[in-house]
């Protein structure tokens, strides 16, 4: 990270980030009471949680379908055992046909859930990346603020704010 912090010294301050610089200066003027960038929660936390719940619902449904498929398979296997086997369970042809149809339907439903799970897992990954980027931004701004608290170098702080925002901007671009 030291290489990045050295890059701050050569970063040109951009006016569009002045509100952040003013927040830090306001924090200093108010004896560092505000600490605007200490919060670790993000605007994406709820999205991550909701999409993770969706993933969990699909996984639960898949487990239920797997359990049903296992029972059907066991019943079909028991029907194929020799009549002398104590675990044999005789089934009529109609019952066998019904079990096979039920197996096919359950398997289709399981496959649908698996496709939905795949999409939901991708959504979770996207939300987690956005959450990470937002957390990283706040952590870096907090570090800039804390450095300014110690050294009082407002120019370096302003350069640091610009560097952080530009760095985060490149991270956001990788999301697209």
Provide the pLDDT for residue 80.
Answer: 87
So what's the pLDDT on residue 176? Answer: 65
Q: Are 138 and 37 in contact (CB under 8 A)?
A: yes
pTM, full prediction: 0.82
| Predicted pLDDT of residue 63 | 98
Structure tokens, 37: 């960038």
The DSSP line for 53-91 is: HHHHHHHHHHHHHHHHHHHHHHHHHHHTS-TTSTT----
Tokens of 139: 């952590």
pLDDT of residue 35: 95
- pLDDT score of 84: 82
Residues of the chain with pLDDT under 50: 1
Position 2 scores a pLDDT of 61
Q: What angle do CA 118, 123, 129 make, to 5 degrees?
A: 130
């Amino acid at each position: 990270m030291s290489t990045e912090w050295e890059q701050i010294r050569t970063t040109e301050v951009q006016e569009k980030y002045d509100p952040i610089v003013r927040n830090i200066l306001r924090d200093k003027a108010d004896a560092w009471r505000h600490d605007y960038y200490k919060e670790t929660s993000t605007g994406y936390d709820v999205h991550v949680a909701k999409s993770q719940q969706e993933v969990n619902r699909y996984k639960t449904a898949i487990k239920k379908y797997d359990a049903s498929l296992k029972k059907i398979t066991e019943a079909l296997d028991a029907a194929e055992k020799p009549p002398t086997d104590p675990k044999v369970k005789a089934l009529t042809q109609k019952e066998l046909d019904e079990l096979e149809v039920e197996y096919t339907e359950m398997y289709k439903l399981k496959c649908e859930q698996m496709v939905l799970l795949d999409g939901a897992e991708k959504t979770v990954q996207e939300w987690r990346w956005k959450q990470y980027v937002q957390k990283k931004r706040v952590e870096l701004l907090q570090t800039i603020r804390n450095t300014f608290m110690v050294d009082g170098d407002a120019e370096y702080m302003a350069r640091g704010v610009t560097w952080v925002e530009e760095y985060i901007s490149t991270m956001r671009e990788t999301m697209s």
